[in-house]
Amino acid sequence: HWNRLSREAVQSSSLEMFKTCLDAILCNMTLLGRGEHILIRLIFGGLPAFRDSKLFIKDLHFDGVPVRIYLPRLRSASKWRGVIFFHGGCGIENWSSSLNRNCSLVYFRYRLSPECKYPAQNLDCLTAAVHFLKTAENYGVDPDRIIVCGDSVGGTFTANVCQELVNRTDIPKIRAQVMIYPFLQALNFNLPSHQKNAFTALLSLERTVYHILKYLNKDCSLKEALLAGSHVPESVNLKYRKWINPDLIPEKFKQDYEPPLPTPCVPQVHEETKELFETRFSPLLAEDAVICRLPEACIITCEHDVLRDDGLLYKKRLEDNDVKVTWYHIEEGFHGTIGFFGYSIFSFPSSSKIVDHAVNFIKGF
Protein backbone atom coordinates (compact mmCIF):
# COMPACT_ATOMS: atom_id res chain seq x y z
CA HIS A 1 0.00 0.00 0.00
CA TRP A 2 2.86 2.36 0.91
CA ASN A 3 4.74 1.61 -2.31
CA ARG A 4 1.69 2.09 -4.53
CA LEU A 5 0.62 5.38 -2.95
CA SER A 6 4.18 6.71 -2.88
CA ARG A 7 4.68 5.99 -6.57
CA GLU A 8 1.39 7.71 -7.42
CA ALA A 9 2.35 10.70 -5.31
CA VAL A 10 5.77 11.09 -6.87
CA GLN A 11 4.65 10.44 -10.43
CA SER A 12 1.90 13.03 -10.15
CA SER A 13 4.14 15.39 -8.13
CA SER A 14 1.33 15.48 -5.59
CA LEU A 15 2.85 16.29 -2.21
CA GLU A 16 -0.59 16.25 -0.67
CA MET A 17 -1.12 12.62 -1.64
CA PHE A 18 2.32 11.78 -0.30
CA LYS A 19 1.53 13.57 2.96
CA THR A 20 -1.78 11.71 3.22
CA CYS A 21 0.03 8.42 2.75
CA LEU A 22 2.70 9.23 5.32
CA ASP A 23 0.24 10.60 7.86
CA ALA A 24 -1.90 7.45 7.57
CA ILE A 25 1.09 5.24 8.28
CA LEU A 26 2.22 7.43 11.19
CA CYS A 27 -1.28 7.22 12.64
CA ASN A 28 -1.29 3.43 12.38
CA MET A 29 2.14 3.25 14.00
CA THR A 30 0.91 5.41 16.87
CA LEU A 31 -2.10 3.14 17.36
CA LEU A 32 0.23 0.16 17.42
CA GLY A 33 2.29 1.83 20.12
CA ARG A 34 5.33 2.33 17.90
CA GLY A 35 7.40 5.51 17.84
CA GLU A 36 7.10 7.71 14.78
CA HIS A 37 10.87 7.98 14.64
CA ILE A 38 11.14 4.21 14.21
CA LEU A 39 8.89 4.29 11.15
CA ILE A 40 10.82 7.12 9.52
CA ARG A 41 14.07 5.24 10.08
CA LEU A 42 12.61 2.16 8.46
CA ILE A 43 11.41 4.12 5.43
CA PHE A 44 14.43 6.29 4.78
CA GLY A 45 17.22 4.54 6.62
CA GLY A 46 16.19 1.31 4.94
CA LEU A 47 16.90 2.63 1.46
CA PRO A 48 20.04 0.93 0.15
CA ALA A 49 23.36 2.74 0.46
CA PHE A 50 24.75 3.98 -2.82
CA ARG A 51 27.54 1.81 -4.23
CA ASP A 52 29.99 2.81 -6.95
CA SER A 53 32.90 0.80 -8.33
CA LYS A 54 34.90 4.04 -8.53
CA LEU A 55 34.65 4.57 -4.79
CA PHE A 56 36.31 2.85 -1.87
CA ILE A 57 33.72 2.60 0.91
CA LYS A 58 34.56 1.65 4.47
CA ASP A 59 32.84 1.89 7.87
CA LEU A 60 35.10 3.23 10.60
CA HIS A 61 34.99 4.89 14.01
CA PHE A 62 36.41 8.36 14.69
CA ASP A 63 37.01 8.57 18.45
CA GLY A 64 34.09 6.22 18.99
CA VAL A 65 31.72 7.88 16.50
CA PRO A 66 30.67 5.58 13.61
CA VAL A 67 31.37 7.02 10.17
CA ARG A 68 31.22 5.77 6.60
CA ILE A 69 34.04 7.05 4.44
CA TYR A 70 33.90 7.27 0.65
CA LEU A 71 37.25 7.70 -1.13
CA PRO A 72 37.97 7.73 -4.87
CA ARG A 73 39.83 4.63 -6.04
CA LEU A 74 41.51 6.70 -8.74
CA ARG A 75 44.98 7.76 -7.68
CA SER A 76 45.75 11.46 -7.73
CA ALA A 77 49.01 13.41 -7.73
CA SER A 78 47.46 15.90 -5.33
CA LYS A 79 45.37 15.45 -2.22
CA TRP A 80 41.58 15.32 -2.47
CA ARG A 81 39.15 17.83 -1.01
CA GLY A 82 37.24 16.37 1.93
CA VAL A 83 33.54 16.68 2.71
CA ILE A 84 32.10 16.02 6.15
CA PHE A 85 28.38 15.27 5.85
CA PHE A 86 25.93 15.40 8.76
CA HIS A 87 22.63 13.72 7.86
CA GLY A 88 19.26 15.26 8.68
CA GLY A 89 16.20 13.76 10.28
CA CYS A 90 15.76 15.97 13.35
CA GLY A 91 18.57 14.08 15.07
CA ILE A 92 16.12 11.19 15.22
CA GLU A 93 15.95 9.55 11.79
CA ASN A 94 19.03 8.39 9.92
CA TRP A 95 18.15 9.70 6.45
CA SER A 96 20.23 8.54 3.50
CA SER A 97 22.10 10.99 1.31
CA SER A 98 23.72 10.44 -2.04
CA LEU A 99 26.09 13.40 -2.07
CA ASN A 100 28.83 10.77 -2.02
CA ARG A 101 28.21 10.21 -5.73
CA ASN A 102 30.36 13.22 -6.51
CA CYS A 103 32.68 13.79 -3.57
CA SER A 104 35.30 12.34 -1.29
CA LEU A 105 33.05 12.13 1.71
CA VAL A 106 32.90 11.24 5.39
CA TYR A 107 29.30 10.49 6.38
CA PHE A 108 28.84 10.84 10.14
CA ARG A 109 26.45 8.52 11.99
CA TYR A 110 25.97 10.39 15.23
CA ARG A 111 23.93 8.88 18.04
CA LEU A 112 20.21 9.43 17.66
CA SER A 113 17.49 10.79 19.92
CA PRO A 114 15.40 9.84 21.82
CA GLU A 115 17.62 6.85 22.72
CA CYS A 116 20.62 9.14 23.26
CA LYS A 117 19.86 12.41 24.99
CA TYR A 118 20.78 15.85 23.68
CA PRO A 119 23.51 17.11 23.32
CA ALA A 120 25.04 13.72 22.46
CA GLN A 121 24.38 14.40 18.78
CA ASN A 122 26.26 17.72 18.76
CA LEU A 123 29.13 16.25 20.73
CA ASP A 124 29.45 13.30 18.34
CA CYS A 125 29.56 15.62 15.34
CA LEU A 126 32.14 17.87 16.95
CA THR A 127 34.31 14.98 18.16
CA ALA A 128 34.35 13.22 14.80
CA ALA A 129 34.93 16.45 12.86
CA VAL A 130 37.97 17.29 14.98
CA HIS A 131 39.29 13.75 14.50
CA PHE A 132 39.00 14.02 10.71
CA LEU A 133 40.58 17.48 10.60
CA LYS A 134 43.56 16.07 12.51
CA THR A 135 43.90 12.88 10.45
CA ALA A 136 42.69 13.95 6.98
CA GLU A 137 46.06 13.32 5.36
CA ASN A 138 45.84 9.65 6.36
CA TYR A 139 42.97 9.40 3.84
CA GLY A 140 44.66 11.37 1.08
CA VAL A 141 42.64 14.49 1.91
CA ASP A 142 44.06 18.00 2.02
CA PRO A 143 43.30 19.29 5.56
CA ASP A 144 43.01 22.83 4.18
CA ARG A 145 40.23 21.82 1.75
CA ILE A 146 37.66 20.33 4.12
CA ILE A 147 34.04 21.40 3.71
CA VAL A 148 31.31 20.68 6.26
CA CYS A 149 27.83 19.97 4.90
CA GLY A 150 24.45 18.97 6.30
CA ASP A 151 20.72 18.96 5.61
CA SER A 152 17.96 19.92 8.04
CA VAL A 153 19.29 19.26 11.56
CA GLY A 154 22.52 18.27 9.81
CA GLY A 155 22.63 21.93 8.80
CA THR A 156 22.27 22.81 12.48
CA PHE A 157 25.26 20.60 13.29
CA THR A 158 27.20 22.15 10.40
CA ALA A 159 26.62 25.65 11.75
CA ASN A 160 27.34 24.56 15.32
CA VAL A 161 30.58 22.74 14.50
CA CYS A 162 31.87 25.71 12.50
CA GLN A 163 31.03 28.05 15.38
CA GLU A 164 32.61 25.78 17.98
CA LEU A 165 35.88 25.58 16.06
CA VAL A 166 36.45 29.25 15.18
CA ASN A 167 38.83 29.73 18.12
CA ARG A 168 40.72 26.45 17.74
CA THR A 169 44.35 26.97 16.71
CA ASP A 170 45.51 23.37 17.11
CA ILE A 171 43.65 22.00 14.07
CA PRO A 172 43.20 23.07 10.42
CA LYS A 173 40.42 25.57 9.69
CA ILE A 174 37.24 24.38 7.98
CA ARG A 175 37.35 25.78 4.45
CA ALA A 176 33.60 26.16 3.82
CA GLN A 177 30.16 25.16 5.05
CA VAL A 178 27.04 24.00 3.21
CA MET A 179 23.65 24.17 4.91
CA ILE A 180 20.64 22.64 3.14
CA TYR A 181 17.28 23.86 4.51
CA PRO A 182 18.80 24.12 8.02
CA PHE A 183 17.04 24.43 11.37
CA LEU A 184 18.77 27.36 13.11
CA GLN A 185 16.54 28.84 15.81
CA ALA A 186 13.76 27.91 18.22
CA LEU A 187 12.75 31.34 19.49
CA ASN A 188 10.17 32.34 16.93
CA PHE A 189 7.77 29.89 15.31
CA ASN A 190 5.68 32.65 13.73
CA LEU A 191 7.94 33.79 10.91
CA PRO A 192 6.46 34.10 7.39
CA SER A 193 7.60 30.63 6.33
CA HIS A 194 6.05 29.12 9.45
CA GLN A 195 2.68 30.60 8.51
CA LYS A 196 2.92 29.88 4.79
CA ASN A 197 4.08 26.27 5.17
CA ALA A 198 2.40 25.34 8.43
CA PHE A 199 0.66 22.37 6.81
CA THR A 200 3.21 21.43 4.15
CA ALA A 201 3.90 17.75 3.47
CA LEU A 202 6.60 15.87 5.40
CA LEU A 203 7.37 18.69 7.84
CA SER A 204 4.47 20.74 9.13
CA LEU A 205 4.91 23.40 11.79
CA GLU A 206 3.32 21.24 14.49
CA ARG A 207 5.49 18.27 13.55
CA THR A 208 8.57 20.50 13.71
CA VAL A 209 7.87 21.50 17.29
CA TYR A 210 6.83 17.95 18.19
CA HIS A 211 10.19 16.67 16.93
CA ILE A 212 12.04 19.38 18.85
CA LEU A 213 10.40 18.28 22.09
CA LYS A 214 11.02 14.59 21.33
CA TYR A 215 14.64 15.38 20.49
CA LEU A 216 15.10 17.11 23.85
CA ASN A 217 13.16 14.40 25.70
CA LYS A 218 10.59 16.95 26.82
CA ASP A 219 6.87 16.65 27.46
CA CYS A 220 5.17 16.99 24.06
CA SER A 221 2.23 18.72 25.73
CA LEU A 222 4.44 21.85 25.65
CA LYS A 223 3.94 22.04 21.89
CA GLU A 224 1.16 24.65 21.92
CA ALA A 225 3.09 26.88 24.32
CA LEU A 226 6.15 26.84 22.03
CA LEU A 227 4.05 27.53 18.96
CA ALA A 228 2.57 30.55 20.73
CA GLY A 229 5.98 31.79 21.89
CA SER A 230 5.23 31.39 25.58
CA HIS A 231 8.73 29.99 26.19
CA VAL A 232 10.49 33.29 25.41
CA PRO A 233 10.82 36.04 28.05
CA GLU A 234 10.40 39.60 26.82
CA SER A 235 14.03 40.38 27.66
CA VAL A 236 15.19 37.54 25.39
CA ASN A 237 12.88 38.69 22.60
CA LEU A 238 14.31 42.20 22.84
CA LYS A 239 17.91 40.92 22.88
CA TYR A 240 17.57 38.80 19.76
CA ARG A 241 15.05 40.84 17.82
CA LYS A 242 17.93 42.36 15.84
CA TRP A 243 18.63 38.88 14.42
CA ILE A 244 15.29 37.03 14.50
CA ASN A 245 12.57 39.27 13.19
CA PRO A 246 10.09 39.02 10.30
CA ASP A 247 11.12 42.55 9.29
CA LEU A 248 14.47 41.09 8.22
CA ILE A 249 12.82 38.74 5.71
CA PRO A 250 12.72 40.09 2.11
CA GLU A 251 9.29 41.41 1.14
CA LYS A 252 8.78 38.87 -1.65
CA PHE A 253 8.71 36.12 0.99
CA LYS A 254 6.10 37.84 3.18
CA GLN A 255 3.02 37.66 1.00
CA ASP A 256 -0.12 37.25 3.17
CA TYR A 257 1.97 37.29 6.35
CA GLU A 258 0.06 38.34 9.47
CA PRO A 259 2.12 39.35 12.53
CA PRO A 260 0.97 37.35 15.56
CA LEU A 261 -0.44 38.94 18.68
CA PRO A 262 2.06 39.27 21.56
CA THR A 263 2.05 36.32 23.94
CA PRO A 264 3.22 36.58 27.57
CA CYS A 265 5.99 34.28 28.68
CA VAL A 266 5.09 31.39 30.96
CA PRO A 267 8.03 31.03 33.38
CA GLN A 268 7.52 27.28 33.86
CA VAL A 269 7.65 26.69 30.11
CA HIS A 270 10.80 28.81 29.80
CA GLU A 271 12.52 26.89 32.58
CA GLU A 272 11.58 23.57 31.00
CA THR A 273 12.93 24.51 27.56
CA LYS A 274 16.10 26.48 28.30
CA GLU A 275 18.09 24.29 25.92
CA LEU A 276 16.34 26.05 23.03
CA PHE A 277 18.39 29.18 23.78
CA GLU A 278 21.78 27.48 23.58
CA THR A 279 23.78 28.28 20.46
CA ARG A 280 24.42 24.59 19.86
CA PHE A 281 20.65 24.24 19.43
CA SER A 282 19.93 27.67 17.90
CA PRO A 283 23.09 28.77 16.02
CA LEU A 284 21.37 31.99 14.93
CA LEU A 285 21.88 33.24 18.50
CA ALA A 286 25.69 33.20 18.29
CA GLU A 287 27.38 36.55 18.91
CA ASP A 288 28.83 38.62 16.07
CA ALA A 289 32.33 37.95 17.42
CA VAL A 290 31.78 34.30 16.42
CA ILE A 291 29.76 34.84 13.23
CA CYS A 292 32.36 37.17 11.68
CA ARG A 293 35.03 34.44 11.86
CA LEU A 294 33.02 31.70 10.17
CA PRO A 295 34.08 30.14 6.85
CA GLU A 296 32.48 30.89 3.50
CA ALA A 297 28.98 29.46 3.29
CA CYS A 298 26.50 27.98 0.87
CA ILE A 299 22.88 28.11 2.05
CA ILE A 300 20.10 26.31 0.16
CA THR A 301 16.50 27.12 1.01
CA CYS A 302 13.21 25.74 -0.31
CA GLU A 303 10.02 27.71 -0.86
CA HIS A 304 7.71 25.00 0.49
CA ASP A 305 9.62 24.58 3.74
CA VAL A 306 8.56 25.65 7.20
CA LEU A 307 12.27 26.34 7.96
CA ARG A 308 12.86 28.55 4.91
CA ASP A 309 13.27 31.73 6.94
CA ASP A 310 15.89 30.24 9.26
CA GLY A 311 18.16 30.00 6.23
CA LEU A 312 17.26 33.51 5.06
CA LEU A 313 18.01 35.01 8.48
CA TYR A 314 21.34 33.19 8.80
CA LYS A 315 22.28 34.33 5.29
CA LYS A 316 21.70 37.94 6.37
CA ARG A 317 23.67 37.48 9.60
CA LEU A 318 26.66 36.06 7.75
CA GLU A 319 26.57 38.77 5.09
CA ASP A 320 26.22 41.51 7.73
CA ASN A 321 29.45 40.15 9.23
CA ASP A 322 31.27 40.10 5.87
CA VAL A 323 31.17 36.32 5.48
CA LYS A 324 30.78 35.37 1.82
CA VAL A 325 27.52 33.52 1.14
CA THR A 326 26.35 31.63 -1.95
CA TRP A 327 22.58 31.27 -1.77
CA TYR A 328 20.28 29.06 -3.81
CA HIS A 329 16.52 29.09 -3.45
CA ILE A 330 14.52 26.17 -4.85
CA GLU A 331 11.08 27.47 -5.77
CA GLU A 332 9.52 24.01 -6.09
CA GLY A 333 11.56 22.53 -3.23
CA PHE A 334 10.23 21.18 0.07
CA HIS A 335 11.81 20.05 3.31
CA GLY A 336 13.28 16.56 3.09
CA THR A 337 13.48 16.41 -0.69
CA ILE A 338 17.18 15.52 -0.68
CA GLY A 339 16.33 12.29 1.11
CA PHE A 340 14.76 11.04 -2.14
CA PHE A 341 17.70 11.86 -4.40
CA GLY A 342 18.87 9.02 -6.58
CA TYR A 343 15.94 6.67 -6.01
CA SER A 344 14.35 6.61 -9.46
CA ILE A 345 10.60 7.35 -9.31
CA PHE A 346 10.93 8.42 -5.68
CA SER A 347 13.26 11.28 -6.65
CA PHE A 348 11.97 14.82 -7.20
CA PRO A 349 13.48 17.39 -9.61
CA SER A 350 14.20 19.61 -6.62
CA SER A 351 16.32 16.79 -5.12
CA SER A 352 18.69 16.86 -8.08
CA LYS A 353 18.82 20.66 -8.13
CA ILE A 354 19.90 20.80 -4.50
CA VAL A 355 22.58 18.15 -4.93
CA ASP A 356 23.87 19.86 -8.10
CA HIS A 357 24.10 23.23 -6.36
CA ALA A 358 25.86 21.77 -3.32
CA VAL A 359 28.33 19.75 -5.39
CA ASN A 360 29.14 22.64 -7.73
CA PHE A 361 29.82 24.86 -4.71
CA ILE A 362 32.07 22.21 -3.16
CA LYS A 363 33.99 21.76 -6.41
CA GLY A 364 35.10 25.38 -6.12
CA PHE A 365 37.48 24.50 -3.30
Catalytic residue set: 152, 305, 335
Strand 80-86 versus strand 65-72 pairing type: unpaired
Rounded to 5 degrees, what are φ and ψ at 148?
-100, 135
* Concatenated DSSP letters of 166-225: TT--SSPPP-EEEEES----SS-S-SHHHHHTTT-SS--HHHHHHHHHHHTT--GGGHHH
CA contacts within 13 A on the Cβ side of 26: 14
- What is the crossing angle of helices 15-31 and 2-11, to 10°? 160
- Among left, alpha and beta (phi > 0; psi -120 to 50; other), residue 217 is left
Query: What are the CB-based long-range contacts (under 8 Å, 24+) for 248-253?
Result: 248/312, 248/313, 248/316, 249/191, 249/192, 249/309, 249/312, 249/313, 250/312, 253/192, 253/193, 253/308, 253/309, 253/312
Query: What are the counts of helices (DSSP H) followed by strands (DSSP E) for the chain?
Result: 13, 8
Beta bridge partners of 136: none
